[in-house]
Structure 1
Amino acid sequence: MRLVYTHRLKSDMVLARPLVSEEGTLLLAEGVPLGESLIHRLVEVGVPFVYVRDDRFPTDRVQPLVSPQSLRRVTADLRGVLVQAAQDHASSSLTLSLEVLGSQVEELICEVLSQPDLVVHLLDLKSCQSYEVQHGVQTLVLAALCAHRLGLPREEIRILGLGALLHDLGKVFLSPGLMSKVEPLSEEEWKEIRRHPEMGAGLMEEHRDLWPLASEAALSHHERLDGSGYPDGKREEQVSATARIVAVADVYDALTSPRPYRPVPFSPLKALRHLQLGAGRLYDPRVVEAFSSLICPFPVGTWLRLSTGHVGLVTEIHPEAPDRPVLSVVRLEGKGPLPQPLRVDLAAHRDASVRAILEDEDSVVLHRLEDEVPDPFDPPR
């Protein structure tokens, strides 16, 4: 199994992992041949990459953090809340939906934190579903894992998780099409977007008995330590612990997701570098450090070029050292393919280091480790 970006897919490739819709409906099953029409459709709908079969790398060692059943339930409930909030945020049916969503969140957090290896891989939760729903669930899981790594008690993690899931609730009140606009936003459009934290927090305050303190995540997830954030320009200790954690999870997921204005998402490594550059100025350095320890910068199925010149595919991840994966090396750059794949464990070979992330084994570079990372002061929408 290996990861292939959709614009590099070929018609003789076979899908190694299924693609599902927002409702949990199977769109493409494992084992489906990827003909030209399917490849064109994947590119058209914005799927950035898929896993394909490769007999040289037969084993899928990645276990999902969340079961498909749990993911399906919470995404369906979140979608219902977003629709009801946009239609009538004071209705009793919305209150009932929030109660159901709250119980689903609690179950999902318990499931995630019970996993033995709390390392986040590239495609743990991402699928063919609307960005708003996917982003909410992914931010919930990332924030809960980070809070757990920081040692927060389970009840605080539950409350934080609820706020993380609905941190962008206020976006249901924005002008249609604003978040999917490809062109640069005008100043008036940015002003409208910067209102969504207050609108989301205001709606959650109406249901405060269900969401004690969770509205803080919606209100302050765009605040930054240096006062450059919004809506209130809070600084340092004015930014709550909840908001600091959700902010990091929110930015990471936004950067690693394809958007209309940025079709090619950041690699996990590039997104982590972005956060690390902003640590201490924009983001809480303790939160960034804890978060970074959870993220696998080189997910299974990723091609890497090493300092030794070897090119190989990541086949295993060490949970205790996710930045030192196991590779199946297939070629030495400049000297052609090896007679057979060579297993190289970077945790045991400290003299070798990763120099570049590649799109494919032909050494098309996706990201060099020495490449400049975009300024963290230029935030995603």
Structure 2
Amino acid sequence: MRAVSIMGLTPGVKLGKTVYDEKGLVLLRSGVLLTESYIYQLKYKNIPAVYIDDELSSGIETPEVIDHEVRAKAILQIKDIFEELNPSKNKTAVRYINEKHYEGVKSVFDIIMENLQTNQGASLNMAEMMSTNLYTYTHSLNVAILSVLTAKSLRLSQDKIKELGVGALLHDVGKMAVPDEILNKPGNLTKEEWLLMKEHPENGYNMVKGNVGISAYTKAIILSHHERIDGSGYPNGLKKDHIHLLTQIVSLADIFDAITSDRCYRNRIPAYQAVEIITAQVHQSFDERVFHAFIKNVDLYPPGMLVQLSNGERAIVLSNNREQPTRPMVRIIDADNQPVKEMDLMKHLSIFITKEIEDSCA
């Protein structure tokens, strides 16, 4: 099984995992053979990629941190909570997180924790199979998952992980006060629009500050997730010693998911490139200890990805090495996509992955 972008699909390919639309309804079930009509429907619904079963990816498993069906339900639950706070979606929208909203967010956190317990050992594959129209809600879930996995690697207490998870789920709630035409603008923001966008941490904090049930750490995450340790962030230009560890975790998860997600104005950046970008910023923006814990929980080269090796050979990734994420197990393939041999890049240190090969079903 492997993930393929919608633009690389061809009729006759078997769907590997069920696809859901922006309402959480089943769009296409796993096992169906794709037709021109089905592919058009996927494009129309803004589904960026799907999993397929084909000969090339035979025997490759793509374990999920969060079960696909549970993930879809969690995203829709976040959407319902956020839209109750969005005046453009709800004429009776309230301007604060009430007890009902807070309980709903804690319920999503519990779903995450239960699934992480069930699917221990899996790392997060950033291939997104739901509509890009759900970006804000999908992003909130991804940031929460990445943050919790990082916190576990750092051996934080369960109480701290809960405060972290709730804060991560709510970190962008202030965007509900930003006009949709700015949030979903397909081009660059104007200076005035960018200033409005930069208000979302304070907007979010104002929505939660009066709720005594929400911890100070959670509130700090919402207010300060765009702060950077060198003082270059916003809204308050805080430096390292004034940015709590939980907030630093969410900050890193936030930027990673943002640049590895498909948006209306640009395509995603592969995870391995995103890590290179963040690595260059670590000393200025992020705590190194958080960064090293973080990358252990992300599939830089997800199983099923086609890659070019430094020796000129082509390969498909079979599985990842959690301690050395840049050196997965791969299957060498020939020009006709037939298997040649398997290779553990941990045992062949002179060979490394140079790039991802454009995915397609051809």
TM-score (norm 1): 0.86
> Mind listing any 5+ residue stretches in structure 1 that lack a counterpart?
364-381
Aligned counterpart for 2:93 among listed residues 88, 95, 106: 88
Distance 1:97 1:57, change over 3 A: same
> 2:167 matched to 1:168?
no
1:230 maps to amino acid: Y
Q: For the residues of structure 1 that align with 2:282 and 2:338, how far apart are their CA atoms? A: 45
Aligned pair in 2 of structure 1 residues 62, 362: CA closer, same or farther (>3 Å)? Answer: closer
Q: How does 1:69-88 map to 2 (within 5 A)?
A: 70-86=70-86, 87-88=92-93
Q: CA deviation at 1:23?
A: 4.4
Deviates more, 1:94-103 or 1:154-163: 94-103
- Give 1:83 deviation, angstroms: 1.9
TM-score normalised by length of structure 2: 0.90
Match of 1:4 in 2: 4
- 1:54-203 to structure 2, matched below 5 A, reads 54-68=54-68, 70-86=70-86, 87-89=92-94, 94-113=98-117, 115-123=119-127, 126-128=129-131, 130-203=134-207
- Which whole-Å CA distance do the structure 2 matches of 1:338 and 1:230 have between them? 49
The question of whether the paired residues in 1 share the 8 Å contact of 2:96 and 2:208 is answered with no
Counterpart for residue 52 of structure 1: 52
* Native 8 Å contact 1:4 1:359 kept in 2: no
Report if the CA contact (8 A) 2:11-2:36 is conserved: yes
**Structure-2 change in CA distance of 1:107 and 1:41 (3 Å):** closer
**C-alpha displacement of 1:322:** 3.0
Distance 1:126 1:242, change over 3 A: farther
The answer on whether the counterparts of 1:164 and 1:217 sit within 8 Å (CA) in structure 2 is yes
Provide closer, same or farther for how the CA distance between residues 41 and 328 of structure 1 changes in structure 2, counting only shifts above 3 A: same
Identity over aligned pairs, percent: 26
Q: Does 1:227 align with 2:231?
A: yes
**Paired AA for residue 303 in structure 2:** V
Distance in 2, matches of 1:226 and 1:185, equals: 25
Of stretches 128-137 and 49-58 in structure 1, the one that deviates more from structure 2 is: 49-58
Give distance in 2, aligned partners of 1:249 and 1:277: 16
Per-residue deviation, 1:339? 6.4
RMSD of the alignment, in Å?
2.4
Aligned pairs, number? 356
Alpha carbons of 1:56 and 1:195: their partners in 2 closer, same or farther (altered >3 Å)?
Answer: closer
The structure whose RCO (Cα within 8 Å, separation 6+) is larger is: 2
Question: Is 1:11–1:36's contact at 8 Å kept on the other side of the alignment?
Answer: yes
**Distance in 2 separating the partners of 1:324 and 1:310:** 15
Change (3 A) 1:235 1:348: same
SS in 2 for 1:327: strand
The one of 320, 323, 347 aligned to 2:326: 323
Find the counterpart in structure 1 of residue 281 from structure 2. 278
Q: In the aligned structure 1, how far is the partner of 2:256 from the partner of 2:311?
A: 30
Q: Which residue in 2 is equivalent to 1:366?
A: none
| Deviation readout 1:310-361 (Å, 9 max, x if unpaired) | 1011122233433222222112xxxx44864322221222232111211148
